[in-house]
Structure 1
Amino acid sequence: MTSPPTTAMQFEQTRHELSTGSGVKISYIDYTPEQSCVVQSESPPCLAVCVFLEGSGESVLQNRARVRYAPDQALLFCSPDSSMSETHLPGRQHLRAVEIHYTEQTLQQIQGMPVQSMLRQLAAQASLRPAGPDSFLYQTPASSAMRAIAEQIFRQRAPAGVQQLFLHSKALELLSLLVAALLDEPALAEAPAVQRRDHKKLDHARECLLARLDHNWSLAELAHTANLNERKLKEGFKALFGTSVHAYLQEKRMQAAANLLSRTNLSITEVVMQTGYANPSHFTKLFRRHFGMTPREFIQSQTQ
């Protein structure tokens, strides 16, 4: 049974656009389709970054290439021409993502090198060219720094007077991190290689962490669950997801805590227990470090 098509207009209604002034357009998606659907859309000429925070699916590009997206992935897309795509969204699955579009004029103002030279260098290395020979698409694990910026944009609560400056600076910081990682790709060859047969096992390890955030995971237990030895788990997880198992678990616990505090009526103590922390004081310290405010201040910011 095929999925019913969803028009681009219907899907666009789920986007929330954030103003940053001229040169940069930011939007975030916070959407749970009731049933599986296909979004058919046309993208204008652009350079764009997208970071997926939750949800998975697949896009069929103009050249019929298929790209699967999943949590903690980043995309860099460039095309001098308009391009078509179909995005397949599973039903009843929460999708959260941040998408940023940049104009060439903005890039010329902030880059130390001519923007065309930078784009040509990236285009020369690209294996995916979804909209013609001058287009390119990169798909890479989002580093912990990239994910943190995407979450800051998604949850931004900056005062109205400084909101544009905050969002603009974060958009440029995210682009610089992604471009720097891509241009430094040869240096990554020295990192431990992840064998293809271990990818599914490492994905399974990550899914186990996400499914039981309240569990007190040990490295040995997680390695046993994923059918990997501890060394392969440690090295492979860092190579594939850009961070250690412990740091990833803590990051996801903080995100879950923020979701519970903003979307439920649970008390702070209940949130502490549901996210795997035994000590409320320790939880508050980590929360402040991650979000720049205490859990109580965070709750108050959601009601303003």
Structure 2
Amino acid sequence: MKDKETPILSREWSLDSGYSSNQLPEEAHPGFPPHVGQETLSHIDLGEGCDAFHYRGQAFHRLHIKVRIETDEPFLMIRAPLAGVANFNFEGVGQTEDSPDRINLFVHGNPEDACISTHPAHEAMDVVGIMLSASRLLSLCDGMKLPRPLEALSGPHAANAMASLTMSTTSRRLFKALVATPYAGALSRLYGESKLMEIAAAILTDLGAQAQESTRLLGKEQAKIKQACEYLRSKLTDLPSQERLANLVGLSQRQLATAFRQFTGMTMPEWILERRMEMAADMLRSGELAIKQIAFQLGYAQVSGFTTAFSRHFGMAPADFRKSISGT
């Protein structure tokens, strides 16, 4: 993104065998070695506060790619796979899937958090990505209220979040057009910026439609999701498997995941993390338990894991949060 400091992107890959990019000479090309795979990455100039890329690649072995992007402000990452399937893990938030039938939205309230994608062997990937700074997004929206989860970018303390949208025919056409500009030079940039505005409008429209759809859930399905939420609240320290929870409320696992997101606006891991952090904040306010005890009561095997999750969510460590409450 070009309006402030240039983003610093770090990228590491590794195979299940343990072989990784860290074992290559420092002067080696950042792409895959010939025996690992092949890939190309092209950048698209979309003006201030926005970077876009077009990635095409294929690994010859099952492979994991870890990317961390450091910027001086929160941003929205839009990933639109045109071909290929991969599992995607956003640190501290949850998991989703890259596939041609969906657009994934990642709100990086803490830009330094990493995303890790896992690619099957010989899976040809074709992905368009757009990294949009919070200030550029707000200028595009020109004062309109951002739909959830993008609303996190409009506040003073943006939090990490993610959401998925169905890839519509219109959206697919726009992403393909973005990476196939018929122009060069200044005209190419103007063309790219016009496509960016169309893509932003399409995503905002689809997010609004998704919110409306969530309000049209059948009463019986709403009741089942409420039942699931109540059960999860009572089991935050000893969570059931998704299979058990689905059986308990009378839905398939897929129905549960879809309806849960529509009803709550979050994936189940996001919702659970939110509730756990709320409970942690309440425990810290009461002052009755040590931080180590709070971590264990919330199901964290290590205090460091709890501290990391809490810091990402609230922007400060548990000890600092407790001090801010007590005023000491």
Name the TM tier (shorter chain): 0.5 to 0.7
Q: Are the structure 2 counterparts of residues 189 and 61 from structure 1 closer, same or farther at C-alpha, using a change threshold of 3 Å?
A: closer
Match of 1:147 in 2: 172
1:10 equivalent to 2:39? Answer: no
Q: Which of 141, 145, 149 does residue 122 from structure 1 map onto? A: 149
Instruction: With the length of structure 1 as denominator, give the TM-score of the two structures.
Output: 0.53
Rounded to whole Å, the distance in 2 between the matches of 1:157 and 1:3 is: 43
Identity percentage over the alignment?
Answer: 13
Q: Are the structure 2 counterparts of residues 98 and 122 from structure 1 closer, same or farther at C-alpha, using a change threshold of 3 Å?
A: same
**Secondary structure of 1:162's aligned partner:** helix
Deviations 1:141-169 (A, max 9, x none): 11111100111122222233310011111
Q: Are the structure 2 counterparts of residues 168 and 95 from structure 1 closer, same or farther at C-alpha, using a change threshold of 3 Å?
A: same
Rounded to whole Å, the distance in 1 between the matches of 2:16 and 2:131 is: 31
After superposition, where does 1:74-223 map in structure 2 within 5 Å?
74-81=103-110, 82-113=112-143, 117-118=145-146, 121-122=148-149, 134-189=159-214
Instruction: With the length of structure 2 as denominator, give the TM-score of the two structures.
Output: 0.49
Deviations 1:161-215 (A, max 9, x none): 310011111112112211221133233358899xxxxxxxxxxxxxxxxxxxxxx
Rounded to whole Å, the distance in 2 between the matches of 1:2 and 1:53 is: 26
Deviations 1:61-107 (A, max 9, x none): 21273212211310111122121122111121210011011123322
Match of 1:42 in 2: 68
Match of 1:204 in 2: none
**Secondary structure of 1:145's aligned partner:** helix
Q: Are the structure 2 counterparts of residues 165 and 67 from structure 1 closer, same or farther at C-alpha, using a change threshold of 3 Å?
A: same
**Secondary structure of 2:182's aligned partner:** coil
Rounded to whole Å, the distance in 2 between the matches of 1:190 and 1:76 is: 21
Amino acid of the residue matched to residue 106 of structure 1?
A: R
Mark the runs of 5 or more structure 1 residues left unpaired by the alignment.
126-131, 194-304
Q: Are the structure 2 counterparts of residues 123 and 47 from structure 1 closer, same or farther at C-alpha, using a change threshold of 3 Å?
A: closer
Mark the runs of 5 or more structure 2 residues left unpaired by the alignment.
1-14, 23-29, 33-37, 219-328
Match of 1:22 in 2: 48
Rounded to whole Å, the distance in 1 between the matches of 2:140 and 2:97 is: 31
Could you list the runs of 4 or more consecutive aligned residues of structure 1 that deviate by over 3 angstroms after TM superposition? 3-14, 189-193
Q: CA deviation at 1:2?
A: 2.6
Rounded to whole Å, the distance in 2 between the matches of 1:152 and 1:3 is: 38
Rounded to whole Å, the distance in 1 between the matches of 2:146 and 2:48 is: 22
Contact 1:20–1:168, Cα closer than 8 Å, also in 2: yes
Rounded to whole Å, the distance in 1 between the matches of 2:182 and 2:18 is: 36
Contact 1:30–1:97, Cα closer than 8 Å, also in 2: yes
Greater fraction helix: 1
**Secondary structure of 1:38's aligned partner:** strand
Q: Which of 80, 85, 93 does residue 51 from structure 1 map onto? A: 80
After superposition, where does 1:235-254 map in structure 2 within 5 Å?
none
Match of 2:90 in 1: 61
Q: Are the structure 2 counterparts of residues 154 and 122 from structure 1 closer, same or farther at C-alpha, using a change threshold of 3 Å?
A: same
- RMSD, aligned α-carbons: 3.2
Q: Are the structure 2 counterparts of residues 4 and 52 from structure 1 closer, same or farther at C-alpha, using a change threshold of 3 Å?
A: farther
Amino acid of the residue matched to residue 103 of structure 2?
A: A
